Amino acid sequence: MAATDATDIDATGTGDVPVADARSTTPEQNRVIWLLLAAAFVAILNETTMGVAIPHLIGDLGISALQAQWLTTAFMLTMAVVIPVTGFLLQRFTMRAMFVAAMSLFSLGTLVAVVSPGFEMLVVARVVQASGTAIMLPLLMTTIMTVVPPHARGRMMGRVSLVMALAPAIGPTVSGLLLDTLGWRWIFGVVLPIALVVLFAGARWIHNLGSTRTAPVDVLSVVLSAFGFGGLVYGLSQIGAAGDGSSPDAGALTGITLAVSFGVGVVALALFVWRQLLLQRRDDALLDLRVFRSTNFTLSVVYFTLMSAAFFGAITVLPLYLNTALGVSSLDTGLLVLPGSLAMGLAGPLVGRVYDRWGTRVLLVPGAIITSGSLWMFTTFDAHTSVWIVAVVQTVMMIGLALSFTPLFTASLGSLPPRFYSYGSAVVSTMQQVAGAAGIALMFTVMAAASAGAHSAGLGDADVSASGAHAAFLIAAIVSLPLIVGAFLIRKPADSIGEGAPTGH
């Protein structure tokens, strides 16, 4: 595998953006990063607006809740299948080519969604959208790690946190307004022109980064990756669909279906790992697993996995609790969680500066304590809790997460040599997808079981919903406890790491 070259940008735009060998990024590099951030913002905004639209789509398209679940499941499945391949793709193709491909797929999927005549075509649109989204986030992380000097990466990752928090902050509110006034098609209609502007701007101004290498695609690895990660995510998403109790059809999901899905996923994933271990000996792996030779990277990935499971599970249950137990409307729910998302985003740049100067522990330790403590506060919520208390606790939790995300992203990828950045980004993004699906599935299942028990005990509807949410929040709180220990183990990597394979640093 060729090391990344630090070449100059030529006047025609066909040359390469220099890698992080200077004291600061150039205006050219900053422009590239901001375009990638804009693309990531559009992709995340699309996903957060879509979540609120599911109940409306059930009525407008005349579909069941189980069918509507596929609008989310198909997206998650595609992400799980495509993301592991991005590590190889980012090595094989130029940054400009990957950006144009990602935004073209996303824009095409959004256009298909706007004109979609029915449910089936809308599912296809979601798959095409997810194909572009899956490429964009690893591309953003890899680019930042390549062009930003180590001493400034925290501040740049803080900008990423700002974008990743701002889109979910405004997404549900915008979605609620559009659904109440113009209809579900306008959710995609608003996103489409923004996506097209970003696409054309990127095609015009984004230059190629580093060098590429010529290597054949191992088709067997792609197939095993698809069945491995896809099988696991599909099984997990179906547990969540069956556990939410929203449709009688969901209860028809049999243990045999789940067993087959997980069985195929586990076997294919084991074969995928074996195949990569063979291929990486000659630098031809689809997903190079030598990234796990870095102890700091491995610890960061485990930490990020647990945090994602607890976080995504909790924030998925929270709107249901607000709606069914406290009687809060969808629009008001979006407004209630808005302060927390804004606080997380605004804290991102400051957290990045602190990381650059003082490292991980000063951020991760209080971040873990605040996040876990907030989740334990969630377990005290019942059918009579004030919505303002919920809003305050949720805001505090988001601040705790703000203290965690930037140092985790930066420390994990910074622990790797530059030629492994793309593989590290793919690993982190893949684990986020799998962990998020696992957290949602687990908490939906626990919530359904607890709600059924409360209903059998003769409690009212609000108390039944609150009992289910309480059980789910308790699981999230328990999962978060190891984060406090892990926060002491992850450190800021050295500013300069050689080009060899990762070691136990």
pLDDT tens digits, one per residue of 183-237: 778 888 888 998 999 899 888 887 765 555 666 777 888 888 888 888 887 777 6
pTM of model > 0.85: no
Weakest-pLDDT range from 68-72, 202-206, 237-241, 326-330: 237-241
Task: Give the per-residue pLDDT at 109.
Answer: 92
Most confident of the following: 6-20, 85-99, 248-262: 85-99
Q: Which of 296, 291, 304, 269 is nearest to 500 (CA)?
A: 291
Q: How far apart are CA 47 and CA 23, in angstroms?
A: 36
pLDDT band at 392 (very low <50, low <70, confident <90, very high): very high
Q: How far apart are CA 314 and CA 471, in angstroms?
A: 11
DSSP state for residue 6 in the 8-state scheme: -
Q: How far apart are CA 460 and CA 396, in angstroms?
A: 30
Compute CA 202 distance to the chain's CA centroid, rounded to the nearest angstrom: 22
* Residue given tokens 């998302």 in the structure block: 341
Mean pLDDT confidence for 290-296: 91
Residue 93 backbone phi and psi in degrees, to 5: -120, 155
Task: Give the SS3 label for residue 209.
Answer: strand
Q: How far apart are CA 505 and CA 495, in angstroms?
A: 12
Look at residue 500 and tell me whether its pLDDT is greater than 90.
no
Asked if 200 contacts 101 with a C-beta cutoff of 8 angstroms, the reply is no
Please check whether the two domains, 18-217 and 287-497, share a CATH topology. Answer: yes
Q: List the alpha helices (DSSP H) in 148-294.
A: 153-181, 185-205, 219-243, 255-279
pLDDT band at 8 (very low <50, low <70, confident <90, very high): very low
Q: Where are the domains of the chain?
A: 18-217, 287-497
Look at residue 397 and tell me whether its pLDDT is greater than 70.
yes
Homologous superfamily of 18-217: MFS general substrate transporter like domains (1.20.1250.20)
Asked if 142 contacts 347 with a C-beta cutoff of 8 angstroms, the reply is no
Q: Which of 181, 191, 176 is nearest to 54 (CA)?
A: 176
Q: Measured between alpha carbons, how far is residue 296 from residues 133, 219, 455 in Å? A: 27, 31, 46
Q: Which residues have a Cβ under 8 Å from the Cβ of 139 and sit 6 or more positions away?
A: 36, 86, 90, 95, 98, 99, 102, 425
CATH topology of domain 287-497: Growth Hormone; Chain: A; (1.20.1250)
10 Å CB burial of residue 240 (0-12, 13-18, 19+) is buried
Q: How many CB atoms lie within 10 A of CB 82?
A: 28
Kindly report the average pLDDT of the chain as a whole number.
Answer: 79
Look at residue 14 and tell me whether its pLDDT is greater than 50.
no
* Per-residue pLDDT reduced to its tens digit, 19-51: 444 456 667 777 788 888 888 888 887 777 776
Q: Which residues have a Cβ under 8 Å from the Cβ of 54 and sit 6 or more positions away?
A: 68, 71, 72
The alpha-carbon radius of gyration of the chain (Å, integer) is: 22
* Per-residue pLDDT reduced to its tens digit, 100-115: 999 999 999 999 988 8
